[in-house]
Amino acid sequence: MTQQTEGARKRVWILTRHYPPDVGALSYRMRHLAEVLSAKYDVTVLAAQPNRYEGAEAAPAIERHEHLTIRRISSVQLLQSRGKIARLLTELLGALWMALVALRHRGQIDIAFATTPPFFYGLPGFVMRRIGRRPLVLDVRDLWLDWAQETGLLRNPLLRGAMRMVERLTMNSANQLTLATNGFRELALERFDVDPGSATVVKNGLDEVLKPASVEPARPRRPESPLQVLYAGNLGPSQNLLGIRDGIVASLDKWNALEITIVGDGAQWQELSELQHPRLHVLPHTSREELARMCAETDAFLLHLADLEVYRHTVPSKLFEYAAWQRPILCGVVGEAETICREHAPCFAFHPDDSDSFAQAVDRLCSGAPPDNEGEARAPEHEILRSSRGPVWLEVFGSIE
């Protein structure tokens, strides 16, 4: 490690594909991490230019704040295609380019931090640990390879085997692992022979900046007013709202006082937007300000993940945002996510990818039945805040100084 004068701040580099003004849970989480660490360290964020959605505008190549610098490198979509192979190649080459940039500046780095997914963005951390000889904190937010294997996305055994090897090398290279759920931690200990003392659960939770300034109870509904249900988030195969589309349409047909709004972007947006019903609204991704207004005006939220084994260990960031509004949640998740939902919000549970089960949950909600967790103890509100992660992060980084 490079020599420093006594009392000097150590230098942390955060290596990530997404960072504001790019939108999404990863961007907001990395900004919060940078702000927390900059209270003690000199922090540099090495990120790609905004690329979360098509048409994203470029951000400044370098931004400087007190004890925090953001450096952005280009991110290019290969072959003018958004197909599976083009996306994987783009991620791989983008991650390797980031690794080279970080390696070039290794003399300015005392501790490296990398986060995954995107899957290949653990590679810059691996390179900094094995070649740059810098301590590494690796953040694991999702078991992407498990999802890809379970859904059949990676059918080629050679490609799958190679990516499993990359996963193992990256996980085993880290000095410290931070993992999104208890389930992820248990799997890491089992699969990769990770030292339990180096694996810390840091849940997703809610940024203070996303927490409502004040939460008013859902407004009393007039008899002529519809019951508003809102879904806001990604619209891809992981969320798989197409898995319950028949239940959505059937519920709208049954309950004339029901209105469902879906806001977001992703691979399923077009097909969802083609569903024809006067009280179903499928809208594109919008600003956080407009989304906050919609959340304040809704009566209930919809949460859903595809019916996959991997999602028994996954807790979507959206759950914490919903819970902060203290509205009922139509809860189509299982495992750890369902447990957290029941601890923090009125919960009307249904089986993922099951239209009949979804329709039954809507029936309970619309008929005024009590939530499934009525009478169960609720967790303190501060437990859903990402701000509670700050002390954990500082402890993790402090352990490898």
Question: Mind listing the pLDDT tens digit for each residue in 126-182?
Answer: 999 999 999 999 999 888 889 888 888 888 889 889 999 999 999 999 999 999 999
**Residue 14 forms beta bridges with which residues?**
45, 113
Question: Does residue 346 have a cis bond before it (omega within 30 degrees)?
Answer: no
User: What pLDDT digit, counting tens, does each position of 352-391 carry?
Assistant: 999 999 999 999 999 999 999 999 988 877 677 665 688 8
Given this chain, do its domains 11-207+386-398 and 212-383 carry the same CATH topology? Answer: yes
Q: Region of 276 please: left (phi>0), alpha (psi -120 to 50) or beta.
A: beta
Cβ 108 vs Cβ 44: under 8 Å: yes
pLDDT string in tens for the chain (401-residue length): 444 544 689 999 999 999 988 877 788 889 989 999 999 999 999 998 887 766 677 889 899 999 999 999 986 555 445 566 677 788 888 899 999 999 999 999 999 999 998 889 999 999 999 999 999 999 998 888 898 888 888 888 898 899 999 999 999 999 999 999 999 999 999 999 889 999 999 988 776 555 666 555 555 555 567 899 999 988 999 999 999 999 999 999 999 999 999 999 888 999 999 998 999 999 998 887 888 889 888 999 999 999 999 999 998 888 988 988 889 999 999 999 999 999 999 999 999 999 999 999 999 999 999 999 999 988 877 677 665 688 889 999 999 86
Domain 11-207+386-398, second-level architecture = 3-Layer(aba) Sandwich (3.40)
Helix, strand, coil share (%) of the chain residues, nearest 5: 45, 20, 40
Q: What is the DSSP string of 102-161?
A: HHHTGGG-SEEEEEESSGGGGHHHHHHHHTS---EEEEE---HHHHHHHTTS---HHHHH
- Listed by start position, the domains of the chain span 11-207+386-398, 212-383
Which residue type, as a one-letter code, is found at position 280? L
Dist CA 399 CA 401 (whole Å): 6
What are the helix (H) ranges across 193-244?
A: none
DSSP 397: H
Q: Does domain 212-383 have CATH number 3.40.50.2000?
A: yes
Provide the pLDDT for residue 1.
Answer: 44
For residue 116, CA distances in Å to 17, 18, 265, 367 come to: 9, 11, 21, 42
